[in-house]
């Protein structure tokens, strides 16, 4: 049986072709543009910017109040262990023969400084001075007794005596007919001074550039004074050799005096007050 032939409308075929062409164009454009579309599942969220920080303004300075001065009605005492020294009595035994000009001037120029230093180093202090020369004179040694320094009046008395110290002061008539110096006469006066009962440290410091005339006497005086130390009181004799070249034989006996007196020996160069302080601290 012969099939019937169907007539295809030209209009219907044209519509199908047009639709197919449009669909193909759309698919082609989609394939081309696909790589440029972002992956929404991996895109990070847009950052959230914080609020801007306000710019600080400089405050207007206020007027400073007047400082409040507080007075201490009852100031505490300084503890004794805050001082380097305890209550101390210092006796300076000074050779005033012709070769001791430098030491004499050193004593004169540092008396007030010494008092100021001792005032800071010890709860209380007293200073005595003995000057000595040669046994060939009428009065080989003389003294300024121990004086506790509590104010300017006491310091003025001490400085008045010191200002009068000079070569050969008060020795009277005589000559240098003896070998050595009257160190034993100076130590005799120094060791017999009336030390304060409250003084826990009693220091004798000899300044000379020569050996004693009576060596055994000087050594014995130093030994007896040093042996007077007790558990509560320390007594020492120290020696400062101001010029080791003046008499090379002087050093051994002066070292022995310091050793027997339990004190300090120095033959090094330095200032008068520096050597004196070393003798006080190292005894």
Name the residue with tokens 């305890």: 86
Phi-psi region of 64 (alpha: psi -120 to 50; beta: other; left: phi over 0): beta
Considering the chain, what is the average pLDDT of its residues?
82
pLDDT value of residue 207: 97
Residue 10 has pLDDT above 50, yes or no: no
For residue 95, what is the domain's CATH number? 3.40.50.410
Judge whether 30 lies within some domain: no
Judge whether 56 lies within some domain: no
Judge whether 10 lies within some domain: no
- Determine whether 79 is exposed, middle or buried from the number of CB atoms within 10 Å of its CB (0-12, 13-18, 19+): exposed
Q: Kindly indicate the confidence band of residue 140, based on its pLDDT and cuts at 50, 70 and 90.
A: very high
Judge whether 223 lies within some domain: yes
pLDDT value of residue 83: 79
* Structural domain boundaries enclosing 198: 86-282
Q: What is the pLDDT of residues 97-133, one digit of tens each?
A: 988 999 999 999 999 999 999 999 999 999 999 999 9
Q: How many domains does the chain have?
A: 1
Residues β-bridged to residue 132: 95, 141
3-state secondary structure of 141: strand
Q: Kindly indicate the confidence band of residue 282, based on its pLDDT and cuts at 50, 70 and 90.
A: confident
Residue 149 has pLDDT above 60, yes or no: yes
Residue 26 has pLDDT above 90, yes or no: no
Judge whether 65 lies within some domain: no
Judge whether 275 lies within some domain: yes
Judge whether 29 lies within some domain: no
Closest CA to 115 of 79, 76, 86, 147: 147
Judge whether 78 lies within some domain: no
Element (H, E) at 222: helix 215-226
Q: What is the pLDDT of residues 227-280, one digit of tens each?
A: 999 989 999 999 999 998 889 899 999 999 999 999 999 998 788 999 999 888
- How far, CA to CA in Å, does 138 sit from each of 56, 143, 180? 90, 15, 16
């Amino acid at each position: 049986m012969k099939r019937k032939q169907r007539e295809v409308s030209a209009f219907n075929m044209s519509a199908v072709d047009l639709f197919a062409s449009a669909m193909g164009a759309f698919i082609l454009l989609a394939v081309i543009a696909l790589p440029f579309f972002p992956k929404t599942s991996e895109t990070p969220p847009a950052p959230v910017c914080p609020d801007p920080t306000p710019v600080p303004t400089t405050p207007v300075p206020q007027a400073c109040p007047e400082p409040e001065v507080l007075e201490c009605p009852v100031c505490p005492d300084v503890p004794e262990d805050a001082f380097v020294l305890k209550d101390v009595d210092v006796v300076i035994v000074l050779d005033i023969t012709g070769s001791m000009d430098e030491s004499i001037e050193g004593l004169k120029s540092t008396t007030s400084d010494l008092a100021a230093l001792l005032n800071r180093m010890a709860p209380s202090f007293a200073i005595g001075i003995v000057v000595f020369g040669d046994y060939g004179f009428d009065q080989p040694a003389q003294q300024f007794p121990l004086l506790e320094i509590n104010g300017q009046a006491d310091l003025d008395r001490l400085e008045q005596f010191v200002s009068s110290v000079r070569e050969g002061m008060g020795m009277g008539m005589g000559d240098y007919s003896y070998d050595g110096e009257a160190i034993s006469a100076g130590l005799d006066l120094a060791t017999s001074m009336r030390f304060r009962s409250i003084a826990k440290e009693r220091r004798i410091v000899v300044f000379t550039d020569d050996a004693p005339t009576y060596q055994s006497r000087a050594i014995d005086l130093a030994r007896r004074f040093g042996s007077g130390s007790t558990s509560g009181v320390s007594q020492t004799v120290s020696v400062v050799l101001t010029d080791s070249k003046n008499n090379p034989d002087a050093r051994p006996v002066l070292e022995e005096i310091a050793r027997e007196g339990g004190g300090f020996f120095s033959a090094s160069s330095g200032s008068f007050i520096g050597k004196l302080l070393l003798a006080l601290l190292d005894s």
